[in-house]
Amino acid sequence: MNSLHLPKNLTSGLHFFNNKRTTIDSEKFFDVYEQRIGKIVTKCPISDKNEVDKIVSLAHEGQKKWSSMSPMERGSVLKKAAEIIRLNQKEIAEWEVKTNGKPINEAEIDISSSANTLDFFAGIAPQALLGDFFPLSNNRQAYTTREPFGVVGAIGAWNYPFQTAMWKIAPALAAGNSVVYKPSPFSPASPVLIGEILVAAGLPMNTYCVIQGEGETGQALIENKLIRKVSFTGSVPTGQKIQQACARRGIKPCTLELGGKSALIICKDTPIDNAIAGSVLANYFNQGQVCTNATRVFIHKKMMKEFEEALLKELDKILVVGDPLDKKTNVGASINEPHLNKVIGFVESAKNEGAKILRGGYRVHPKGVEEGFYFEPCVIGNVTNEMTVAREEIFGAVMLLISYETEEEAIYHANNTEFGLAAGVFSSDLGKAQMIAQKLEAGTIFVNTYNDCEIHVPFGGMKNSGIGRENSLSSLLSYTQEKTIYINLNSKVEHGF
């Protein structure tokens, strides 16, 4: 089995092309932080339009060999990459912590699921890409083929840098495309390591490349004429700009996984322990930096007091903010200081609008990592659905408690948002829970659970939360173009007139 030599410093050489970690000459740079200690660890050169165009051209050439391989042959490379990840899972997870700030326990899950992602798409591609056959009348037939687009331009998010990169890279490669990937400048290192893993597994030259930069770099990538499909994870405003750019540049198909402002409805028949567990599941993983998080927790008016008291007691017992490399920590560092201050600003705005801060909501300085970007997880009570904090995506560990009197009222307020990524409902009555789930306007609904995510199950949003689906067969097919071919088997052709 191929092995991987992990570099001593993942922040040196943050570009990837010609099948190796490298750097470029550039007049512009951005700072790269290690969030857990709050320090700049390097400066990354930014890819300008000329650099982007050069890399896309390399990927265009690299795709030719890759697409000429059978799905089974491509799948063999992806499966080798999955095995390399598993052999180096502990070390990769530690690097993920250092380049993102999430707790090591969560990082290990992300890395493991990324290997599963490669295995899944490698496994389904040979059958899924066969196409269909149609016998027709008058000695005719038709069949379809699934063909890759060519070069895919992928732009990733910073909250799950290794895992969400793999959600795009694995299906795109399995379908026979090459990929040019632009990470978020807030967590730029993981996709470069993915490149080294893929090359160690046997990926052909320039089938996968990484560029670095901010908005201008992403724009140059999307507008390059050789990019035939775009996949983006990020904010709604950026997603809207990308969709417009795709329409201007030849009607390029795009998958957009955007923001959310999800709601969790706790019915009054829910056992209090289950209500608390569901609310925690929906809010505090990854420092609250999860797009599906149900920051709006709707609690029946008659159970609000009991719920608040029990929730605060439980959170004081279970939440540990600290060095994310410590196994005891379950709340790590925020992605950067401006984002940390933004989350604190939301807490202050809620207080100014009449809400009550029940716990947390401020910066903390854990022992040994005092300069890192740490936030004490927050619970805010006396919230109404009209408050700023209940309308805008916070992307931090802030739970909002909103009371309701009828389930119809809760459903109305849950749906009264521009977003539609996820939602949840807890109830002892599964029939009632299913009814509420049918009425909630979101791409994923959780019933008596929250934030489940399986690679073979579609994931994506409704309304302003995006278009298209990640994961599952749906994702693989979205990286292909369907071609239909008609064949007349008759030796004599009739003109029809």
Q: What is the 3-state secondary structure (H, E, C) of 165-181?
A: HHHHHHHHHHCCCEEEE
Report the C-alpha gap between 3 and 200 in whole angstroms. Answer: 7
d(CA 156, CA 161): 7
Burial of residue 172 (number of CB atoms within 10 Å: 0-12, 13-18, 19+): buried
Torsion 82-113-372-317 (CA) sign: negative
Distance in angstroms (rounded) separating the CA atoms of residues 72 and 264: 42
Q: Which of 257, 393, 407, 470 is catalytic?
A: 257
Buried b (16+ CB within 10 A) or exposed e, 322-346: bbbbbeebbbbbbbbeebbeebbeb
Residue with tokens 């805010």: 380
The question of whether 337 is a catalytic residue gets the answer no
Number of separate helices (H) and strands (E) present in the chain: 15, 22
Q: What angle do helix axes 190-200 and 71-87 make, rounded to 10 degrees? A: 120
Helix (H, G, I), strand (E, B) or coil at 454: coil
Q: Tokens at residue 15, please?
A: 């570009």
Strand positions, DSSP E, 163-219: 178-182, 208-210
Could you identify the residue written with the tokens 């970690």?
21
Strands 39-45 and 133-136: unpaired
**Cα–Cα distance measured from residue 9 to residue 21, given in angstroms and rounded to the nearest whole number:** 11
The set of catalytic residues is 257
